[in-house]
Structure 1
Amino acid sequence: MGCVWFVGAGPGDPDLITVKGRGLIEQAGAILFAGSLVDAAAARYAPAGCRVQDSKSMTLEQIADWLIAAAGECETVVRLQTGDPGLYGALIEMTRPLDAAGIPWRVVPGVTSAMAAAAAAGESLTLPEVTQTVILTRVAGRTPMPDGEGLEALAAHHSTLCIYLSATLMPEVQRALSAAGWAPDAPILVVQKASWPGRELIVRGRLDDIDQRCREAGIGAQAMIIASPALGAGGWAELTPSKLYDPAFGHRFRRAVTAESDT
C-alpha cells in the first residue's frame, strides 16, 4: 500500500514548488494534478513511466477512487494542487475516503497566491503601526459564507484583506468595503496569474475605480484581490520602523544600544 502525498505546487511558476514537493514528484509512480499550470510542474519533474492525469473533469468521488487505486499500485502517489492544499483545496473532502480505505496520506505545503501576488507587486501585507493582521477570505458565490464571515464584516477590521476566488465579483467587493467604511480612494491591488511565466498581470487602482480598471485590462478569473492600508508604503514620505531592527530594542541575539549606553 502506497502513500498519497498532497503537494502544493504553488501559484503557477513551476520553480516555486518546494524542494520536498519536487522530490516527491521525481519519485512518484502516479500523479493526479489539478489543471492550470500545475501540469507544467508535473511534466517537468515526473519520471519516465509515471502515470500522470489531469483531474479537472473529475468529481470528488472519481478523484478519491483514482487515488485509492493508484495507492494500491504505487509506493508514492502525488495529488498535485495549486497553491497550498490546506487553503480552498478540498483537502479534507479528499482525505476522508483515504482514511476510510486505510491509506496513509501526508501534506506538503505550497506558496499561496496571496503571497505570490504581494511579491509580484513588491508589497508587504503587514506594516508596523499600520496593520499587523492578514485576513484570507472570499466573496460568497455558489458556496455561501458562514455566519459572521461576510466580506463587509471582515473588512470592518480595516486590516489587510487577501480576497480569493472573487475577481468576477468585483462590484460586490467594492460594495462590501465601502459599507465597512473604506474610503473611495483606498488602494486596491489585483494580480492575475501571479508568478505565471509570461502571463502575470498587475493592476493597481482605488476602491472606486478598480472594477473599471480590471475590465479594461481584461482581468477575469484566477486573480488575487488585495485591499490593505499598507499598499503603496514604498512611496510614503515616512514610515514607522520595525522595533526588531531598532538599535534600542534588545533581544537574545543583540544587545540594546541606547544613547545612555554609548556614553
Structure 2
Amino acid sequence: MAKVYIVGAGPGDPDLLTVKARRIIESCDVIIYAGSLVNPEIIKLAKPDAEVYNSAQLDLDQIMGIIREAYDRGKNVARVHSGDPHIYGALKDQTSVLEQLGIPYEVIPGVSVLTSAAASLGIELTMDGISQAVIIARGSLRIPVPEKEQIKNLAAHGSTMVIFTGIHIIDRIAKDLMDGGYDPETPVGVVYRSTWPDEIVIKGKLSNIASLVHEKRIYRTAIIIVGDVVDPKFVRHSRLYDPEYVHSFRGGRNASGR
C-alpha cells in the first residue's frame, strides 16, 4: 500500500539527514519539498524517475491534490520539510487532511536548526547554574501570536530563548526582550543558514545585535538565540561529571574510598 512520509530534512547540510530520511527521499516516487528552505542538494538524492514538486509556489489545497493523486496511483510520497516538521512546520494542517482522506502517513523527525545553530555557535543551550529552560518562540508580524506568548512577556522568565522567523524585525525583537526584562548586555547569537556553505554566525549582545545583523544584510533564514549560555562566564557548572556527584552508575570518591 502506498504511503505519505512527512520528512524532516535537517537544517541544510545533506550529511545531517537521518539514515531513514535519506532512504525515504531516495526511494519515493513523488517528492514535494519546501523549495525556499530545503537545500537543493538534498532533493538531488531522489531517484531519476521521481516526480519532484517545489511547494514554495503551492497552497495547501494544491499540495494535498498532488498527494491524493499520487496516492490513488499507488505512489509513495515524500513531503520534505526543512529542519524538523514538528517545530513551525504546519504539520497538523497537513496530517488533518491526510486523516480526512484516509491516506496513511508517517512523520520522520529531523535535526532542527535549533540544535544545529547551537552547534554553529559552539554553545550549550542548558547549563547548570545559568539556564535550565529553553523557550522556543516565533517572532512574526504576520502570524498571530497569543498575548501571553508575545516576546516581551516571555522575556520575563530570563531563560534561554530561541526565536524563529524574527530576523527581519530584529530591532523590534531586541527592544521587546529588553523591555521584558533582559539586560541590554545579555549575549545573543544569530546564525544565518545554519550548516549551509554560506552560513554566517554572529555573536553580540541585545544592545548591539540589530546593528550587527544589519551590517551583514541578513533579513531571512536565520535563528536568534538569547541568553547567558551564548557567552557564559564559564566555571565548571555541570554536576553530571563532578567527582563528588553520585548516581546509580557511578559512586563518588567518598563512596568508593578512592
Question: Structure 2 length normalisation: TM-score?
Answer: 0.95
Partner of 1:63: 63
Partner of 1:82: 82
Any idea what SS the aligned residue of 2:43 has?
Answer: helix
Q: Does 1:262 align with 2:254?
A: no
Tell me how far apart the structure 2 counterparts of residues 213 and 249 of structure 1 sit (CA, whole Å).
42
Asked if 2 retains the 8 angstrom alpha-carbon contact of 1:29 and 1:77, the reply is: yes
Tell me how far apart the structure 1 counterparts of residues 49 and 17 of structure 2 sit (CA, whole Å).
22
- CA shift, 1:48, in A, is 2.1
Tell me how far apart the structure 2 counterparts of residues 17 and 247 of structure 1 sit (CA, whole Å).
37
Aligned alpha-carbon RMSD (Å)? 1.5
| Superposed CA offset, 1:49-77 (max 9, x none) | 11111110000111111111112224421
Partner of 1:25: 25
Any idea what SS the aligned residue of 1:137 has?
Answer: strand
Any idea what SS the aligned residue of 2:201 has?
Answer: strand
Tell me how far apart the structure 2 counterparts of residues 92 and 181 of structure 1 sit (CA, whole Å).
33
Q: Does 1:5 align with 2:5?
A: yes
- CA shift, 1:250, in A, is 2.0
List structure 1 segments (4+ residues) > 6 angstroms apart after TM superposition: none
Asked if 1 retains the 8 angstrom alpha-carbon contact of 2:38 and 2:81, the reply is: no
Q: Does 1:170 align with 2:166?
A: no
Any idea what SS the aligned residue of 1:188 has?
Answer: strand
Any idea what SS the aligned residue of 1:125 has?
Answer: coil
Tell me how far apart the structure 1 counterparts of residues 20 and 102 of structure 2 sit (CA, whole Å).
24
| Superposed CA offset, 1:201-258 (max 9, x none) | 011111111111111111110010110111123xx3x424311111222222222222
Structure 1: state its 5+ residue gaps.
none
Partner of 1:40: 41
Tell me how far apart the structure 2 counterparts of residues 136 and 254 of structure 1 sit (CA, whole Å).
34
Question: Structure 1 length normalisation: TM-score?
Answer: 0.93
Aligned length: 257
Partner of 1:207: 206
